[in-house]
Each structure stands twice: as structure tokens, then as C-alpha cells.
Amino acid sequence: MTSIKTLATSIVLGGFAMTATADTYILVHGAFQSAAGWSQVAEGLTVQGHTVVAVDLPGRGATGANAQAVTLADYIATVSSAVEAAAEPVILVGHSFGGITISGVAEQMPDAIKRRVYVAAYVPQSGESMQALAEMDSDNGFTAESFVLAEDYSYATILESDKVRLFAAVATPEQQTTLPATMLAEPLAPLSTAIA
């Protein structure tokens, strides 16, 4: 997996940010990350005159009962609220697990979405979960040992020695140094919930 920060330049220069009109972008992070990971992308889009909202999904860093209470429906509702707050149809961008979330939002409110952009993201079919898609992805680099599961199975973290290898292998040395400290505990229930 590639970190959001390493994708900043390619997103801004890759063509889909270069439009004649100002658009509203809703940016959705992946698992174990937060909206802060979009900072360079948001800056690049803002400089071009676009409106940018980087959404923090619920449960970032939550543990125990707080993590157990978080659902995929909560993720979809949080992003849907950001879309509803926009004055016009938005460009909805999802990174990694964010692809599952933006797919759910687009199903619920297709007329509010101008375009969906999947950045190194999972694109689900109805009935698939993030966990099922990841298990089918033989190139993702994850092993059973990569995840550190909470004793109550409410959340997971990434093994310290795997953070850079899995999330920042092609990042700059500076990004590889700072990324591990920004990674958060991820509630498990949304990862195993099938999307409709």
C-alpha cells in the first residue's frame, strides 16, 4: 500500500485535479490513517481554487467499547454528511479502505456525486467486505503477523516493523520516518462488514 502523502503529487498533477472550474473534493482516508494524511493533496487542490474537505472517519484510535461501537454505516454517514454540506455535486476521493466507504456513499446519494476517484483503493461489488477483498489481494504484502489484534477483538494496529514496508515503501525518507507515529488503531467491525 502507498501512503496518501506519497500520492499527493500524482493526484494534483495526474489530470483529474486540472479542471476549468472549481470543484468540491471530499477526501476519505484508508484504514489506520486519518484525514491528516491528505494534507499535501488538500494543499495542492486548494491552490488550484478547489474546495477541499478531508473527512476523519469515526473511531480513529478508539479502543475497547468505543471501537466496538463503530460501524461501516457510521463511516458512510460521516462522509454523506460532508457531501450533503456541499453546495454542489462533489468529487469523492477514497484511498485504500476509503474506496469501500465512498462506494457506500455513492450508492445512497448518486446525484450528489460528480465523480468518484479510487486512489490505490478497493472497489467493492455488493456483498464484499474490506477483509474479503484484502484476502483476495495476494499482492498487498500483509501477513497474519502484520496485524496486532486487541484482546477483545475491537480494533487492530499494524506491527511496528511493517508500517513503513506496507504503507510507505515508496515514500520519501522523511515520510518513512514520520508515518509510523501517525498511524492509528482501526476498529475491526467496519473492515469485516459487507457493503450493499
* CATH numbers and ranges of domains, the chain: 4-192 (3.40.50.1820)
In this structure, the number of other CB atoms found within 10 A of the CB of residue 40 comes to 17
Its pTM stands at: 0.86
**CA dist 173 to 14, 120, 166, 170, 184, Å?**
23, 21, 14, 9, 20
Q: Rounded CA gap, 77 and 109, in Å? A: 11
Cell 462488514 belongs to 193
The DSSP secondary-structure symbol of 85 reads H
pLDDT digit of tens for each residue in the chain (196 aa)?
444 444 444 444 444 445 568 999 999 999 999 999 899 999 999 999 999 999 999 999 899 999 999 999 999 999 999 999 998 999 999 999 999 999 999 999 999 999 999 999 999 999 999 988 888 877 777 777 788 899 999 999 999 989 998 888 888 899 889 888 889 999 999 999 999 9
Give the per-residue pLDDT at 6: 42
Which residues are tagged catalytic?
96
Q: Rounded CA gap, 43 and 52, in Å? A: 9
Give the per-residue pLDDT at 13: 40
